[in-house]
Structure formats: C-alpha cells, structure tokens
Amino acid sequence: MYSDRSEPCGSPSLRLSNQFTRTKQESAPNFREASVANGFSYKRPFQAPRLAIPARFGSVTLMARQTSGRAERGLKVRVTTARRRKSSSTRWLERQLNDPYVRLAKAEGYRGRAAYKLIEIDDKHQFLNPGARVLDLGSAPGGWCQVAARRVNTLGEQRGKAAGRVIGIDIKEVDPIPGAEVHVLDFLSDGADDRIRDWLGGKADVVMSDMAANSTGHRQTDHVRIMALCEAAADLAFDVLDEGGTFVAKVLAGGPDSSLQVVLKRRFGKVVNMKPPASRADSREKYVVATGFRAERGPKE
C-alpha cells in the first residue's frame, strides 16, 4: 500500500524496524537451516561460510557472523582479508555491506542511501508538494531527483493533483531519471541562472543541494570548502527561487557558519538545522532547511 505521496507506507526508520523484526522472526533456531541473500545455507552452530561478493568489490574474502544486537538478529558480513586494499577502503566496504539504508535503497529502487535523508527531511518540513518546481544542485547519482520526482508528481501518478517539475544539474553525466530532467552544467558559470529558469519554466519552489567537496582529510579545510559550496548554492537560490520558496543544503558541523546563517535568516522566514536519522552518526554533516523565501525588492521609482 502506498500513501498519496507515492512513498511506501511508514518512515524509512519504521520500514527498517519491520525489516529487522522479520529477520528476527525468520531466523531459525539451532540446527535448523537458514538462508541468506547470497544463496548459501548452514546449520547452527556453524563454521562461518565464505561469501561470494560481486566483482565490483574486487577480490576480497568475507566471513558471515551472527550479530548480537537487539534490532537485527540476522547475519553481518565482516571483511577478514583485503589484499592490496587500504584499511580505510576495507572499513568502507564492510560498512556498505552491512548498512541497512543501503539494503533498503536497493530494495526500493533508489540510487543511493542519501535518498532517505531527503525523505526524512521532507517528512518533517513538507516542501516537496505536488506541482512544485524543484532544482537539485549536484544531482549525481540521482537519488534526490528520484525522491523529488515522486513527491511533486512529475509523472502524474497522483491523480487529481498538479504535476510538478524536477531539474537536476551536475558537472558530470547522470543516467536518465524517470520524471526528472538532468543537465550537465556548472551552476557557477555565467548565465547559469537564466538557463535554469528556462528549463524550469519559471522560478523554482525548492532549491536543494547535497553537494560536498572531495575530502582532504584536514577538518578545517574540508569545512571551508563545503561551506563555500553551500554559500554558492544559496546565492543561486536567491536568483531562481520564487517568493515563499525553500532552500535545503548540506553543511558540516564543527566550524564557523554564522555568516551563512545570518544571510539565510535575513532572506527566509524560518531557518533550522537538521540531522536526519539516515545520516550516519559518525558523520559531521547536517542540513540547513530555510523556508519562506523573501525576495529582495528593488528601489522604488
């Protein structure tokens, strides 16, 4: 069953909880066969079997082990060997293989776990409404465009409701996304705002950005770079947003961002910071959500 926003019923966290409950209920007691997604079977107690991992992960030997957490009583994949691979890459691989949001994204057809960050932000702030015109900056790989297209009803799946428009732009090619238009464009280039308004067919109701500069490993430098991106995205939003519009962007906690906050509070009716549940606990990322855009009025004649 689906809601009128064309999303599976319940929040991502609730669906994950239900998924874990099913896993727990379906787990077989000792000496009863149980299967996992990779196709092997075993009997408890067992010698941890080796798993076949898709070629995109390279050659790596994995072992399956039972977890002791309350939420999930299924199997957890642990990387035990990683020839010619850095330890940081091994940790990333293990985290990806065991991330419930990664599994949920694959099951529900999203291009990445980041889609659930936008779902959770919009569930709280309700800005992706049918008929809205949405601009996604730095749209690759496309998960945010997928969420926006469903919620603003670009394909007219929500009968009796207005159909919206979603434009994604990125400096690199993005595979086609049903219900969204994706263009290769550097939004910092001259004339970018005019091209965007042409593609949208007017001004935007929502400008959103999940962009992040490549990490240097230096905390202060990374903060400055991502804040510079956010400020540039905000400047573009001031040019293309319609009155009452919404701006959403990723920022990093732990550094100076007061200047951006001051500017946003002057141009928007409400500005809040949010860390959605889908954002990893060890990540410093958070999202600024600014609603009720106020366009600057020119001097009176």
Measured between its terminal Cα atoms, the distance across the chain in Å is 56
Q: How many domains does the chain have?
A: 2
Better-scored residue on pLDDT, 283 or 258: 283
The residue from 45, 76, 98 where one domain ends is: 98
Identify the pLDDT of residue 70. Answer: 41
- Give, to the nearest 10 degrees, the angle between helix 219-240 and helix 192-200: 60
298 lies in some domain: no
118 lies in some domain: yes
> Which pLDDT band holds residue 172 (cuts at 50, 70, 90)?
very high
Average pLDDT over residues 216-229: 77
Classify 180 as helix, strand or coil: coil
2 lies in some domain: no
132 lies in some domain: yes
Name the amino acid, one letter, at 291.
T
Same domain? 63 vs 127: no
Same domain? 145 vs 180: yes
5 lies in some domain: no
Task: Specify whether the CB–CB gap between 180 and 148 falls below 8 A.
Answer: yes
Neighbours of 126 (CB within 10 A): 12
| CA-to-CA separations, 35 to 72, 180, 249, 290, in angstroms, rounded | 15, 38, 41, 47
Same domain? 194 vs 234: yes
Query: Has residue 89 got a pLDDT over 90?
Result: no
H-run or E-run covering 287: strand 285-293
Same domain? 86 vs 179: no
Here the tokens at position 140 are 């690759």
Identify the pLDDT of residue 82. Answer: 57
Same domain? 184 vs 59: no
Provide the whole-model pTM.
0.71
Q: Which of 48-57, 114-123, 145-154, 175-184 has the lowest mean pLDDT?
A: 48-57
Same domain? 91 vs 184: no
Residues in the chain: 301
210 lies in some domain: yes
- Of residues 250, 265, 275, 286, which has the active-site annotation? 250
Closest CA to 140 of 237, 211, 227, 56: 211
Classify 141 as helix, strand or coil: coil
Identify the pLDDT of residue 29. Answer: 42
Closest CA to 227 of 246, 210, 212: 212
Query: Has residue 23 got a pLDDT over 70?
Result: no
Would residue 172 show up in a list of annotated catalytic residues for this protein?
no
Same domain? 168 vs 272: yes
Q: What is the CATH number of the domain that holds 284?
A: 3.40.50.150
250 lies in some domain: yes
Q: Which of 13-22, 67-76, 109-118 has the lowest mean pLDDT?
A: 67-76
Same domain? 89 vs 117: no
53 lies in some domain: yes
Residue corresponding to tokens 């960050």: 117
Average pLDDT over residues 182-200: 94
Q: Which residues pair with 170 in a beta bridge?
A: 184
Return the percentage of the chain with pLDDT > 70, whole number: 62
Identify the pLDDT of residue 236. Answer: 96
Domain containing 271: what range? Answer: 111-293
Same domain? 228 vs 198: yes
Same domain? 80 vs 196: no
Same domain? 58 vs 123: no
**Alpha helices (runs of H) in the chain, residue ranges in sequence order:** 12-26, 87-98, 100-108, 115-125, 143-151, 192-200, 219-240, 258-267
Query: Over the stretch 108-144, which tens digit does the pLDDT of each residue have?
Result: 999 999 999 999 999 999 999 999 999 999 999 999 9
Better-scored residue on pLDDT, 29 or 191: 191
Same domain? 171 vs 45: no
Torsion of CA 44, 47, 49, 50, to 10 degrees: 160
The residue from 77, 98, 119 where one domain ends is: 98
